[in-house]
Structure 1
Amino acid sequence: MVSISRRAWRQLTSMRTALVLLFLLAVAAIPGSVLPQRNVSPEKVRQYLQDNTEWGPTLDRFFFFDVYASPWFSAIYLLLFTSLVGCLVPRFRSHLVAMLRKPPAAPARFSRLPASAEDLPAAPAADVVAALRRRRFRTVVRTPSDGVTEISAEKGYLKETGNLVFHFALLSLLIGVAYGSWFGWHGNRLLIQGQDFAFCNTLLNYDEHALGAQVGEGDLPRFCLRMDKFAATYLDNGQPVTYKADITATQHGRSSTHVLQVNDPLRLDGANVSLLGHGYAPVLRYTDKYGKTHENVSAFLPKDGMLTSDGVATFPDVNLNPSTGTRDEKSQIGFSGVYLPTLPSDPSVSSSAFPAEKDPRLMLQPYRGVLGFDAGAPLSVYTLDQRQIDAKRLSKFGEPFMLKPGEKGTLPDGTTVEFVRTEQWISISIRHDPGQPIVLVGASALLVGLLGSLTGKRRRVFFRITPTGMSAGGLPRGDYPGFAEEFAAIVAAVTPAAPVPSQMAQTDVKEVV
């Protein structure tokens, strides 16, 4: 059992296994880039599931919309972390020992080395050492016998150092991401324009949220946000150019205004606020059969690039008899609608011609019955309860109609609904990630380590000085095509008074293990 465990550990901590796990981690992250993720855009996940009813739920069952919180992604992540630690610690120890150890003694015959020079004029050992140190070689002088001086020098530990820095930086990236996952948090919120829809940072106010394992609700920073104005510009083909939202943020008893844009987050104390998307919220005013008016503002979700949006507006508290104070629960009213910011030239096309509000229209289908709010089951604010419709407790009430802003529509019972106006809304992501500084340092160190690993060339040179002359040999410790030229330059530098002998070997440099 011990031997099996030892072999399994060696296999796990091998560099080959680490590379395989790194490749698997990259492959496992692909769905997180291709498919919408709940922690970034829950409305897109909801729309994706509605558009792909056959295999969308299967993907959801296997966490393809929560890739980075899935068990299989976490398993690969932890295995890679363990593999890197088990691989790098012995390598670091060996590299540290190699750097502190003196260069090895010179071999007996330099002619067997990839580069060598014989019968050179003798030079003082101090001059040879000085020339090598000017080239940043680590040197050691030995005197194995009378009259003979051997000089060993080596250089190029930057390659292995860079290699280790690269892999430790990769390890720090994993640590930073894990630290941010444990002590960070994030939430998404759809924020409608206006004072009535101001948002304060509590869990109940989020549409979607996730807390790290070590974060509680009391750890969230206290601030409030209000959107005062939103402006967008588009190209002629409808492609957005700019999204700008004027935000009032209140924190620590002080209010300040900011301009929130895409890729330009608002940085608060303890959280960053990012702009993700934009849409419209129609304002409807319903007048019931007793003459009482009720106003509703409901965000409609875009379903294409031209911001053709659909949603619902519900009025559960209408038709209250003022004389008896009772209400017929089966007289609740709901509207399923499609909003077109710009009416197309062909009325049969049920999609907007442009994302800005040039000629807006709101198509509504009235429903009457029991909306299902009192059933105790969770309901979506973007669709009517299909269970109530299937059970015929909620049914269509009249024909659909289309309204301009300011127009009214009349229902079969004489009640009316008015399309008052639209409000703008934005979807924001609020996030705190304490692992970001670690990831930033790790990413910078990763680039530095990669540069050192690619440019460093480890090599050794030896000189043997006797009373009658001097010989030299060179040994690259890896693939280094330019070593022969460097070796010739070193020999020429230590023997300036004499040309380099013709006997100098100019053989191709090969790796010697």
Structure 2
Amino acid sequence: MSTPADPPEAERRTGELTFVELLRWSWRQLTSMRTALVLLLLVALAAVPGSIVPQDNVDSFEVTQWKERHPDLTPVYERLGLFSVYDSPWFAATYILLMISLVGCILPRLKVYAQAVRARPPRAPRNLTRLPDHAAYRTEETAEDAGARLASALRRRRYRVVDTDEDPGGDVVVSAERGYLREAGNLLFHLSVLIVLVGFGAGSMLGYQGGAIVLVGNGFSNNLTQYDDFDPGSLWTSDDLDPFAFTVDDFDIEWYDDMTQPSYGQARSFVSHLTYTDDVASGDSEEYDLRVNHPLSIGSTDVFLIGHGYAPVLTVRAPDGTVAYSGPTIFLPTDLSFRSFGVVKVSDGLDTQVGLEGEFYPSYGFDMETGPYSYFGDALEPAMSMTIYTGDLGVDSGVGQSVYSLEKDGLTQQVDDEGNPLRLDLEIGETAELPGGLGTVTFDGYERWNRVQISQTPGKLVALGGVVLALVGLLGSLFIRPRRIWVRVRAAGGADDLPGTGATVVTIGLLDRSTGAGGGEEELQGILDEVRPQPSDDEREKQ
């Protein structure tokens, strides 16, 4: 007795996919509309950390402060790339997958839409009275003339009409359809999302974004050495820098000065008065008032005013009166009343290197519970409070350091007789002694600074065009109503209660394909008013 042979190992089990089938299935899943929506949501969610967590390419000082306040979370955030979200591999992967998914969604739908546009409207149903909106009337015209009249009326209403013909039952039938642009609006909306993504991608790869702090009265020349931070795109080159320069001549600011309002002491508005030139060789210059959200455009570069603050002027002298350090030092605001933090690094001219770390108070106030604060953003009562560190500042180590923070390794904090941190509290014009006979510190005054953002975004017009197209497509998909209308004209018969006279019965049926849109009755009534014969005066009297 023989037994059936075992199936060969190469034979597939029922339901098992081959490699090609698996790839085809994966592609269908990736290019489905559901997946595209999920990826779009993921891109939106991925952008949230970029607006909450400080970014290295936007404000490196704020990143440093955040890391100091959250030492436990910092390694996790760094591993996830949350301090540079838009440059992280996971954001780029989500971005690229979304673009692929959108392309895979749009192209097949474009093909289907093109076929639908060229296709004839479907033939009329046998019983038009079963449609949601329908009407019938009698006319003395022949069936051919009544059908021709209706076809002409529908064309005037921008319906695409199939010429009148006769179906097997002998009726003259007219089929008409309009509203094809609704699906075009849907496709345009999805295509616009892809255009916006391409615009942002082109801007990030071909452009750059940088920032600089410029003292009022000083200038800026557009070369790499002038930037405090600079984030170029992967395809950007230094040849793309537009040659220009500007000087901050003056700076005006208005403050909220109503003490009854919670915004008291905060900046209301500010404007920086610039003199700029886009042809340094010629020396020709123009003036411009730089305001928030009103950038200065020079060539393909935009200059934005994004912040301002104070730069206390300090002078550090050795015991013999030799100046070891002098000039304005940028302090960065830490609250809306412009209480500002900064450091002074004196690496030469004294017996040892000295670091001063402290705060500047434009309008000094003191609270027994919270300590010193600034009660107003304008410099009404300027004061400073600084702690002192001595030792190796690390400026000669060859490792880049932030000018806005003090590396404490290798430094010793100076303390008073009770072991508390020694502080120097100064008002304008006051001088304080450094400990150990190192010298003196004088608070000479302050200057103002402006923070500007300078950027090239080649894809911004593409992205703007995508947004406009998205709005057009959305309006089209919301307000264009796809409708189909069928007409059957019968040469005899019909109910006795139909309006009109004659042996020809005209039946019209309308199908509104936009869910819940309504308006079919008004459309049908408009067609009837145009084509149905109006009763004579005698008939009106009889009615």
TM-score of the superposition, structure 1-length normalised? Answer: 0.88
The answer as to 2:481 corresponding to 1:457 is yes
Deviation track 1:85-114 (CA, whole Å, cap 9, x = no partner) reads 111111112112211222222233323433
Confirm whether residue 163 of structure 1 aligns to residue 186 of structure 2.
yes
Q: Distance in 2 between matches of 1:362 and 1:352?
A: 11
Q: Which among 289, 296, 303 is matched to residue 327 of structure 2?
A: 296
Matched with 1:322 is none
Which moves more between the two structures, 227-236 or 446-455?
227-236
CA distance 1:279–1:109, change in 2 (3 Å)? same
Q: Is the 8 A contact 2:266 2:376 kept in 1?
A: no
Q: Could you say which residue in structure 2 is the equivalent of 1:486?
A: 523
In structure 2, which of residues 191, 195, 203 is the aligned counterpart of residue 172 of structure 1? 195
Encode CA deviations 1:392-423: one digit per residue, 9 max, x unaligned. Answer: xx442873221111221122416222111111
- Give the whole-Å Cα distance in 1 for the aligned partners of 2:167 and 2:44: 59
Measured against aligned partners, the alpha-carbon deviations of 1:349-385 in whole angstroms (never above 9, x if no partner) come to 2221211100011112333332221112222212222
Match of 2:533 among 475, 496, 506: 496
After TM superposition, the structure 1 = structure 2 runs for residues 289-368 of structure 1, keeping only pairs within 5 Å, are: 289-293=319-323, 294-319=325-350, 331-346=352-367, 349-368=371-390
Q: 2:29 aligns with which of 11, 29, 33?
A: 11
Contact 2:384 2:425 in 1 (8 A): yes
Q: 2: distance between equivalents of 1:414 and 1:2?
A: 78
Q: Does 1:37 align with 2:55?
A: yes
The 3 A distance-change label for structure 1 pair 406 and 33 is same
Change (3 A) 1:102 1:312: same
CA RMSD of aligned residues (A): 2.3
Q: Deviations over 1:268-317 (max 9, x none)?
A: 11211111221111111122133322413211111222111121112212
Deviation at 1:434, TM superposition (A): 0.9
Q: What SS does the corresponding residue of 1:291 show, helix, strand or coil?
A: coil
- Tell me which structure has the larger Cα radius of gyration: 2
Residue-by-residue CA offset, 1:476-507 (whole Å, 9 max, x unaligned): 324243323422432343213369xxxxxxxx
Amino acid at match of 1:481: G
- Paired positions, count: 483
Q: Which residue of 2 aligns with 1:243?
A: 270
Question: Does the Cα contact within 8 Å between 1:318 and 1:333 map onto a contact in 2?
Answer: no
On the 8 A contact 2:203/2:458 being kept in 1, the answer is: yes
Letter of the 2:83 partner, please give it.
F
Q: Choose which of 422, 429, 434 in structure 1 pairs with 2:458.
A: 434
Do the aligned partners of residues 498 and 427 (structure 1) sit closer, same or farther apart at CA in structure 2, a change above 3 Å counting?
Answer: same
Change (3 A) 1:166 1:360: same
CA distance in 2, matches of 1:385, 1:202: 29
Q: What are the ranges of 5 or more consecutive residues in structure 1 without an aligned counterpart?
A: 320-327, 500-513
Selected match of 1:256 from 263, 277, 286: 286
Residues 193-217 of structure 1, C-alpha deviations (whole Å, 9 max, x = no match) = 233xx32222232222111121112
**Paired position in structure 2 for 1:323:** none
**Cα drift, residue 145 of structure 1:** 5.9
Which residue identity does 2:519 align to in structure 1?
A: G
Q: Does 1:405 align with 2:433?
A: no
Q: Distance in 1 between matches of 2:327 and 2:388?
A: 14
Q: Is the 8 A contact 1:49 1:57 kept in 2?
A: no
- SS of the residue 1:451 aligns to: helix
Counterpart CA distance in 2 for 1:346 and 1:4 is: 69
**SS at the partner of 2:294?**
coil
Quick one: distance in 2 between partners of 1:362 and 1:473? 84
> What one-letter code is carried by the residue in structure 2 that aligns with 1:301?
L
The AA in structure 2 aligned to 1:308 is R
Aligned to 1:507: none
- Residue by residue over 1:440-459, the C-alpha shift from the partner in whole angstroms, topping out at 9 and shown as x without a partner, is 11111111111110112111
Q: Is the 8 Å Cα contact of residues 368 and 397 (structure 1) preserved in structure 2?
A: no
Task: Name 1:387's counterpart in structure 2.
Answer: 409
* Equivalent in the alignment of 1:280: 310
Q: Distance in 1 between matches of 2:242 and 2:86?
A: 24
Q: Secondary structure at the match of 1:124?
A: helix
Q: Residues 118, 250 of structure 1: CA spacing in aligned structure 2 closer, same or farther, 3 A cutoff?
A: closer
Rounded to whole Å, the distance in 2 between the matches of 1:360 and 1:234 is: 16
**How far apart, CA to CA, are the structure 2 residues paired with 1:264 and 1:47?**
30
1:40 is paired with a residue of what secondary structure? Answer: coil
Is residue 366–residue 373 contact of structure 2 (8 Å, CA) maintained in 1? no
Q: 1:84 aligns with which of 102, 105, 112?
A: 102
Shift of 1:120: 3.3
Moved more, 465-474 or 453-462: 465-474
Between the aligned partners of 1:406 and 1:457, the Cα distance in structure 2 is: 76
Q: Shift of the alpha carbon at 1:142?
A: 3.7
Check conservation: 1:312, 1:382, Cα contact below 8 A. Answer: yes
Q: Distance in 2 between matches of 1:145 and 1:214?
A: 64
1:190 lines up with 2:213 in the alignment: yes
SS where residue 396 of structure 2 aligns?
Answer: helix
Shift in alpha-carbon separation, 1:492–1:417, aligned structure 2, 3 A: same
The superposition leaves residues 301-336 of structure 1 with CA deviations (integer Å, 9 ceiling, x where unpaired) of 1122211112111221204xxxxxxxx5xx223322
The aligned amino acid for 1:375 is: S
Report SS of the residue matched to 1:463: strand
CA contact (8 A) 1:18 1:84 kept: yes
Counting only pairs closer than 5 Å after superposition, residues 67-82 of structure 1 correspond to structure 2 as: 67-82=85-100
Which of residues 500, 511, 530 in structure 2 aligns to 1:475? 511
2:11 matched residue in structure 1: none
1:98 is matched with: 116
> Which residue of structure 2 lines up, in the alignment, with residue 127 of structure 1?
149
Checking the alignment, whether the CA contact within 8 Å between 1:184 and 1:215 is kept in structure 2 is yes
**Residues 145 and 478 (structure 1), Cα distance of their counterparts in 2 relative to 1, 3 Å cut:** closer
Unaligned runs of 5+ in 2: 1-18, 258-263, 417-421, 493-503, 537-543
Q: Is the 8 A contact 1:460 1:474 kept in 2?
A: yes
